[in-house]
Amino acid sequence: MRNPPRQPVEWVLITGATHGIGLALAKECLRQGMGVAAVGLSDANLSGARETFSAIPNAAYRLLGQDLIETGAIDRVLAWLEAESITVNYLINNAGFGRGGLFENTDWGEYRTMLMLNNQVMVELTYRLLPHLRACRGGILNISSMEATLPLPYKTVYTGTKAFVYNFSLALREEFRHYGVSVSVLCPGPVITNADGLRRLEAQGRRGRLLVAMPDDIAPQAIRGMLTGKAVIVPGWLIRALIATSYVTPRPLRMRILEKLFSRYRDEPATVVSPSALKNVSN
């Protein structure tokens, strides 16, 4: 699937690019004249993204429907890039999802999928694309969360995966500096990207709504930060203030406060999510 109105100077590969934050980032890249190689699930969002991209004047894009946790998925993505003669200048590792609740109330299969998508796919894509990024002295944007700096009770695995993204990105930034490849990490607050995100927001009541953003709200700052090589991108002054406050709050007190804030999750029933349902959640 393609539209070839012009040959862009630079291409960006975006995972999870047909929905939520990934879609917003893809649109922002297209508006800035970059070519977008968008990877998403083969579902209704793929068709919707094609319509959205085609409405942007002079947009150059390619779309691939691929479940990234399938065996051989990364090989298929790389083969697709080669077949399309795309040299990747920028990589945006966006694909991922989260879930809240008591640790034991979530099915292990969902945790396994979360770990694979949020962490393993990101690391493998970065590893496999490094030769291309070194050749063009490009950049990487990894999507973490403000929760990467807050070990949240009732979101144990999700915040663990996002802490991995955060630490991996900053450490890799120092290594890749010697190659001329920049690494940035985006740490947004709550962003409404799917029905589960809306449910988690509603669980926090008015307090949560003060922090919430929509994907299109954060995309311009995220892409600007990636292109300028900013290390950590935190959209919104209130989110930045909360993160700064957490650093100076003694850890035992901070953890008691966080447990209290998210304790509503304790009353939620255990959930068993089918594999097909998991394919419909992403950043």
State the chain's mean pLDDT as an integer.
85
Average pLDDT over residues 139-149: 92
Average pLDDT over residues 195-205: 55
Measure the CA–CA gap between 180 and 17, rounded to whole angstroms. 26
**What are the pLDDT digits (tens) for 184-193?**
999 998 776 6
Report which of residues 144 and 197 the model is more confident about: 144
Measure the CA–CA gap between 282 and 260, rounded to whole angstroms. 27
Per DSSP bridges, beta strands 35-40 and 88-93 are: unpaired
**What are the pLDDT digits (tens) for 84-116?**
999 999 999 999 998 888 899 899 999 999 999
| % of the chain residues with pLDDT over 70 | 73
Average pLDDT over residues 252-276: 59
DSSP class of residue 93 equals: E
Domains of the chain: 11-275 (3.40.50.720)
| H-run or E-run covering 134 | helix 121-136
For 11, residues 6+ apart whose C-beta sits below 8 A from its C-beta are 34, 35, 36, 37, 86, 87, 88, 89, 90
Integer angstrom CA distances of residue 267 from 154, 160, 202, 212 = 11, 22, 14, 23
Residues noted as catalytic: 158
Report which of residues 256 and 154 the model is more confident about: 154
Measure the CA–CA gap between 33 and 17, rounded to whole angstroms. 17
Helix (H/G/I), strand (E/B), else coil: 140: strand
* Residue 244: Cβ-neighbour burial (10 angstroms; 0-12, 13-18, 19+): exposed
Report which of residues 190 and 206 the model is more confident about: 190
Q: What share of the chain is helix, strand, coil (3-state, %, to 5)?
A: 55, 15, 30
DSSP letters, 195-224, are HHHHHHHHHHHHHHHTT-B-HHHHHHHHHH
Q: What is the pLDDT of residue 189?
A: 80
For residue 51, pLDDT over 80 is answered with yes
Phi (first) and psi of residue 236, to 5 degrees: 100, 125
Alpha-carbon dihedral 167, 259, 217, 202, rounded to 10 degrees: 150
